[in-house]
Amino acid sequence: MRRVIFNQKGGVGKSTITCNLAAISAVEGKRTLVIDLDIQGNSTQYLLGQKVSDSDKTIAHFFKDCLSISLFGGNNSTGLDSVIHETPFPNLYVIPSHPDLEPLQGRLESRFKIFKLKEALEKLEGFDSIYIDTPPILNFYSQSALIAADKCLIPFDCDTFSREALYTLMNALTEVKADHNQHLEIEGIIVNQFQRQANLPRLLVDQLIAEGLPVLNAMISPSIKIRESHSESKPLIHYVPNHKLTIEYLALHAEIHGG
């Protein structure tokens, strides 16, 4: 199963949600891969504890290979296997991001390489679950991820600006599905930073549900433990396995997997 975590609004917790759901999947015994398509590389740093060096193979190397055409017209791309890194956590792997993604984007767009990630993932073997972290904009990389994915999870933090951005996002996803990936399923909206005792968050969530939007039942509370886990480069299931926030992530993971 390939899931993309996407929102065009920044700061909604995409990388945190990606890595924590993936870490739970790995703990449950599934061989799990995270693909970091965000130039900021937050998922990369969260899972590896550092930014990758220029000598390391990253997702940028994969896309560079997609642009390499031999003299005989063949594609020299070696696929994704060579850019996969082990993390310190059993069953959990990552394809790191790299700043070179930025200058590559225009060339990839002009040569219509938008389906290359999908093609490579369809050939990739040995993983039970794949999570794709995306940039906070509908660009070449996020579109590539949406085309390659089976399901889309949408993080939502409870404020009015996020709500307006959500409507724009839903329209964009409808277009991607119609034009490029008819099998893409919007799996649900993840309410993040949810303050249960505050009026505005509860009102916004109730409105989304009343409008028929696919809001997931499991919601994620704000907590300093998230920042601490970032600092320690340990997803919550490894950092504080019995904490309330970890329990919420476990409930979220169970919900999207039909538990």
Nearest to 23 by CA among 11, 32, 15: 32
Percent of the chain having pLDDT more than 90? 82
Q: Can you list the domains of the chain with their CATH numbers?
A: 2-256 (3.40.50.300)
Full-model pTM: 0.94
Q: Which one has a higher pLDDT value, 9 or 110?
A: 110
For the segment 93-103, the average pLDDT, to the nearest whole number, is 96
pLDDT tens column, 179-234:
999 999 999 999 999 988 888 889 999 999 999 999 999 999 999 999 999 999 99
pLDDT score at 259: 60
Q: What is the pLDDT of residues 132-177, one digit of tens each?
A: 999 999 999 999 999 999 999 999 988 777 788 888 899 999 999 9
- The tens digit of pLDDT for each residue in 37-73 reads 999 999 999 999 976 766 689 999 999 999 985 434 5
